[in-house]
Amino acid sequence: MKTCKKCSCIYDDSFEQCPRCNKAPLISNFEKFVFAAILTLISGIVLVFINFKIALIVFGAFIYFAIIIPKKFPSEWKQASENKTNVMNTSALKSFSIIHIEGVKNTDQNQKCTLKINSEYLSFEDNKENFIDKVELSDIKNLCILEEIEQTQKNKSTIGCAVVGGLLLGSVGAVVGGLSSLNPTMVENKKYYLEIKTSKGPDIIITSDNATLKNIKDIILAK
Protein backbone atom coordinates (compact mmCIF):
# COMPACT_ATOMS: atom_id res chain seq x y z
CA MET A 1 0.00 0.00 0.00
CA LYS A 2 1.08 3.60 -0.71
CA THR A 3 0.22 6.93 0.92
CA CYS A 4 -0.39 9.98 -1.26
CA LYS A 5 1.69 13.01 -0.25
CA LYS A 6 -0.97 15.42 -1.54
CA CYS A 7 -4.23 14.13 -0.08
CA SER A 8 -2.81 11.56 2.42
CA CYS A 9 -5.12 8.84 1.13
CA ILE A 10 -3.92 5.23 1.00
CA TYR A 11 -4.06 3.42 -2.32
CA ASP A 12 -3.00 0.08 -3.78
CA ASP A 13 0.53 -0.56 -5.06
CA SER A 14 -0.86 -1.51 -8.46
CA PHE A 15 -1.51 2.20 -9.13
CA GLU A 16 1.53 4.22 -10.19
CA GLN A 17 -0.06 7.44 -8.94
CA CYS A 18 -2.79 8.37 -6.48
CA PRO A 19 -6.13 7.58 -8.21
CA ARG A 20 -7.91 10.37 -6.35
CA CYS A 21 -5.47 13.16 -7.26
CA ASN A 22 -4.84 11.96 -10.82
CA LYS A 23 -8.43 10.85 -11.50
CA ALA A 24 -7.24 7.36 -12.33
CA PRO A 25 -9.80 4.55 -12.59
CA LEU A 26 -10.82 3.11 -9.24
CA ILE A 27 -10.06 -0.39 -10.51
CA SER A 28 -6.56 -1.19 -11.80
CA ASN A 29 -5.95 -3.21 -14.97
CA PHE A 30 -4.74 -6.12 -12.86
CA GLU A 31 -8.01 -6.14 -10.91
CA LYS A 32 -9.99 -5.95 -14.17
CA PHE A 33 -8.21 -9.04 -15.52
CA VAL A 34 -8.72 -10.93 -12.26
CA PHE A 35 -12.42 -9.98 -12.22
CA ALA A 36 -12.77 -11.15 -15.83
CA ALA A 37 -11.08 -14.47 -14.98
CA ILE A 38 -13.42 -15.04 -12.03
CA LEU A 39 -16.44 -14.12 -14.15
CA THR A 40 -15.48 -16.59 -16.91
CA LEU A 41 -14.93 -19.34 -14.34
CA ILE A 42 -18.35 -18.81 -12.78
CA SER A 43 -19.99 -18.56 -16.22
CA GLY A 44 -18.30 -21.80 -17.30
CA ILE A 45 -19.58 -23.67 -14.25
CA VAL A 46 -23.12 -22.43 -14.87
CA LEU A 47 -22.99 -23.25 -18.61
CA VAL A 48 -21.95 -26.85 -17.89
CA PHE A 49 -25.60 -27.50 -16.98
CA ILE A 50 -26.95 -25.54 -19.97
CA ASN A 51 -24.65 -25.97 -22.96
CA PHE A 52 -21.52 -28.06 -22.50
CA LYS A 53 -19.85 -26.93 -25.76
CA ILE A 54 -20.17 -23.25 -24.89
CA ALA A 55 -18.95 -24.08 -21.39
CA LEU A 56 -15.73 -25.51 -22.88
CA ILE A 57 -15.16 -22.27 -24.81
CA VAL A 58 -15.66 -20.21 -21.66
CA PHE A 59 -13.31 -22.46 -19.70
CA GLY A 60 -10.77 -21.90 -22.47
CA ALA A 61 -11.09 -18.15 -21.88
CA PHE A 62 -10.53 -18.72 -18.17
CA ILE A 63 -7.35 -20.70 -18.90
CA TYR A 64 -6.17 -17.84 -21.12
CA PHE A 65 -6.64 -15.36 -18.26
CA ALA A 66 -4.93 -17.73 -15.81
CA ILE A 67 -1.86 -17.88 -18.09
CA ILE A 68 -1.73 -14.23 -19.16
CA ILE A 69 -2.31 -12.52 -15.78
CA PRO A 70 0.95 -13.68 -14.06
CA LYS A 71 2.93 -12.74 -17.19
CA LYS A 72 1.26 -9.37 -17.78
CA PHE A 73 1.25 -8.30 -14.12
CA PRO A 74 4.18 -10.14 -12.47
CA SER A 75 4.65 -7.79 -9.50
CA GLU A 76 0.93 -7.54 -8.72
CA TRP A 77 0.54 -11.32 -9.04
CA LYS A 78 3.49 -11.96 -6.72
CA GLN A 79 2.14 -9.55 -4.13
CA ALA A 80 -1.36 -11.06 -4.30
CA SER A 81 0.11 -14.55 -3.83
CA GLU A 82 2.18 -13.42 -0.84
CA ASN A 83 -0.83 -11.72 0.75
CA LYS A 84 -2.89 -14.88 0.31
CA THR A 85 -0.15 -16.98 1.93
CA ASN A 86 0.15 -14.58 4.86
CA VAL A 87 -3.60 -14.62 5.45
CA MET A 88 -3.68 -18.42 5.37
CA ASN A 89 -0.75 -18.71 7.78
CA THR A 90 -2.27 -16.19 10.17
CA SER A 91 -5.69 -17.82 10.21
CA ALA A 92 -4.39 -21.39 10.43
CA LEU A 93 -4.62 -21.70 14.22
CA LYS A 94 -3.69 -24.74 16.27
CA SER A 95 -5.75 -25.03 19.46
CA PHE A 96 -4.86 -26.88 22.66
CA SER A 97 -6.65 -27.28 25.98
CA ILE A 98 -4.20 -26.45 28.79
CA ILE A 99 -4.18 -25.44 32.45
CA HIS A 100 -2.52 -22.18 33.42
CA ILE A 101 -0.03 -22.28 36.29
CA GLU A 102 1.47 -18.79 36.19
CA GLY A 103 2.57 -15.92 33.93
CA VAL A 104 -0.61 -15.15 31.94
CA LYS A 105 -2.21 -11.81 32.82
CA ASN A 106 -5.64 -11.77 34.49
CA THR A 107 -5.63 -15.57 34.83
CA ASP A 108 -5.88 -17.60 38.03
CA GLN A 109 -3.63 -20.52 38.91
CA ASN A 110 -5.00 -23.87 37.71
CA GLN A 111 -7.47 -22.10 35.42
CA LYS A 112 -8.41 -24.05 32.29
CA CYS A 113 -7.57 -22.16 29.09
CA THR A 114 -7.31 -22.60 25.35
CA LEU A 115 -3.90 -21.98 23.80
CA LYS A 116 -3.93 -21.05 20.11
CA ILE A 117 -0.83 -20.89 17.91
CA ASN A 118 -0.45 -19.16 14.56
CA SER A 119 2.48 -17.85 12.54
CA GLU A 120 2.99 -14.72 14.66
CA TYR A 121 1.89 -15.25 18.25
CA LEU A 122 0.40 -17.44 20.96
CA SER A 123 -3.00 -16.42 22.30
CA PHE A 124 -4.76 -17.50 25.48
CA GLU A 125 -8.55 -17.67 25.71
CA ASP A 126 -10.94 -18.74 28.46
CA ASN A 127 -13.48 -21.53 28.06
CA LYS A 128 -15.93 -19.08 26.47
CA GLU A 129 -13.33 -18.15 23.80
CA ASN A 130 -12.80 -14.71 25.32
CA PHE A 131 -9.32 -13.33 24.63
CA ILE A 132 -7.07 -13.15 27.72
CA ASP A 133 -3.51 -12.46 26.60
CA LYS A 134 -1.01 -13.10 23.80
CA VAL A 135 2.73 -13.66 23.40
CA GLU A 136 4.61 -12.80 20.20
CA LEU A 137 6.63 -15.76 18.90
CA SER A 138 9.58 -13.40 18.37
CA ASP A 139 9.60 -12.71 22.14
CA ILE A 140 9.97 -16.38 23.12
CA LYS A 141 13.55 -17.13 24.21
CA ASN A 142 13.31 -20.73 25.37
CA LEU A 143 10.90 -23.62 25.90
CA CYS A 144 11.43 -26.28 28.55
CA ILE A 145 9.31 -29.29 29.53
CA LEU A 146 9.52 -30.10 33.25
CA GLU A 147 8.48 -33.37 34.88
CA GLU A 148 7.16 -33.62 38.42
CA ILE A 149 7.11 -37.02 40.09
CA GLU A 150 4.84 -37.51 43.09
CA GLN A 151 5.37 -40.59 45.24
CA THR A 152 2.35 -41.90 47.16
CA GLN A 153 1.60 -45.05 49.12
CA LYS A 154 -1.18 -47.35 48.04
CA ASN A 155 -3.38 -45.99 50.83
CA LYS A 156 -3.04 -42.57 49.10
CA SER A 157 -0.98 -40.94 51.88
CA THR A 158 1.51 -38.53 50.37
CA ILE A 159 5.20 -39.27 50.96
CA GLY A 160 6.73 -36.38 49.05
CA CYS A 161 7.44 -35.03 45.61
CA ALA A 162 10.40 -34.07 43.46
CA VAL A 163 10.83 -32.54 40.06
CA VAL A 164 13.04 -33.81 37.27
CA GLY A 165 14.74 -30.83 35.65
CA GLY A 166 13.42 -28.31 38.23
CA LEU A 167 11.21 -28.32 41.31
CA LEU A 168 7.87 -26.58 41.24
CA LEU A 169 6.02 -24.80 44.01
CA GLY A 170 4.52 -21.50 42.91
CA SER A 171 7.38 -20.92 40.44
CA VAL A 172 10.09 -22.95 38.73
CA GLY A 173 13.18 -23.54 40.80
CA ALA A 174 11.60 -23.51 44.27
CA VAL A 175 12.91 -26.41 46.35
CA VAL A 176 10.03 -28.23 47.98
CA GLY A 177 11.73 -31.29 49.48
CA GLY A 178 12.74 -34.81 48.58
CA LEU A 179 11.58 -38.33 48.92
CA SER A 180 11.75 -39.76 52.42
CA SER A 181 12.28 -43.32 51.23
CA LEU A 182 11.53 -45.77 48.44
CA ASN A 183 9.69 -49.04 48.96
CA PRO A 184 7.55 -51.41 46.85
CA THR A 185 4.26 -49.95 48.20
CA MET A 186 4.88 -46.53 46.54
CA VAL A 187 3.03 -45.39 43.42
CA GLU A 188 4.40 -42.73 41.05
CA ASN A 189 2.20 -39.98 39.65
CA LYS A 190 3.84 -37.81 36.97
CA LYS A 191 2.84 -34.27 36.02
CA TYR A 192 4.26 -32.29 33.11
CA TYR A 193 4.76 -28.55 32.70
CA LEU A 194 5.85 -26.35 29.81
CA GLU A 195 7.86 -23.29 30.78
CA ILE A 196 7.80 -20.51 28.17
CA LYS A 197 10.61 -18.02 28.77
CA THR A 198 9.99 -14.63 27.14
CA SER A 199 12.01 -11.46 26.66
CA LYS A 200 9.00 -9.34 27.64
CA GLY A 201 6.84 -9.87 30.69
CA PRO A 202 6.94 -12.83 33.11
CA ASP A 203 7.76 -16.38 32.09
CA ILE A 204 4.69 -18.55 31.51
CA ILE A 205 4.07 -22.03 32.88
CA ILE A 206 1.25 -24.25 31.65
CA THR A 207 0.41 -27.90 32.21
CA SER A 208 -1.25 -30.68 30.24
CA ASP A 209 -0.38 -34.23 29.27
CA ASN A 210 3.15 -34.85 28.04
CA ALA A 211 2.16 -35.50 24.42
CA THR A 212 0.22 -32.21 24.19
CA LEU A 213 3.07 -30.18 25.68
CA LYS A 214 5.60 -31.77 23.31
CA ASN A 215 3.29 -31.00 20.38
CA ILE A 216 2.98 -27.36 21.48
CA LYS A 217 6.75 -27.07 21.86
CA ASP A 218 7.47 -28.63 18.45
CA ILE A 219 4.96 -26.37 16.67
CA ILE A 220 6.38 -23.21 18.26
CA LEU A 221 9.96 -24.19 17.46
CA ALA A 222 8.97 -24.90 13.85
CA LYS A 223 7.59 -21.37 13.37
More confident residue, 36 or 128: 36
Q: Give the C-alpha separation, 24 to 147, whole Å.
A: 64
Which of these ranges, 33-37, 47-51, 88-92, 183-187, has the smallest mean pLDDT? 88-92
Q: Give the C-alpha separation, 37 to 32, whole Å.
A: 9
Instruction: Please give the C-alpha separations between residue 99 and each of 13, 23, 206, in angstroms, as whole numbers.
Output: 45, 57, 6
Q: Give the C-alpha separation, 101 to 138, whole Å.
A: 22
pLDDT for 41:
93
With CA atoms as reference, report the closest residue to 145 among 201, 98, 88, 87. 98
Average pLDDT, the chain: 78
Judge whether residue 2 has pLDDT over 80: no
Residue 113 pLDDT class (50, 70, 90 cuts): very high
More confident residue, 43 or 152: 43
Segment 45-66, tens digit of pLDDT: 999 899 999 999 999 999 999 9
pTM (predicted TM-score):
0.49
| Phi, psi of 54, rounded to the nearest 5 degrees | -65, -35
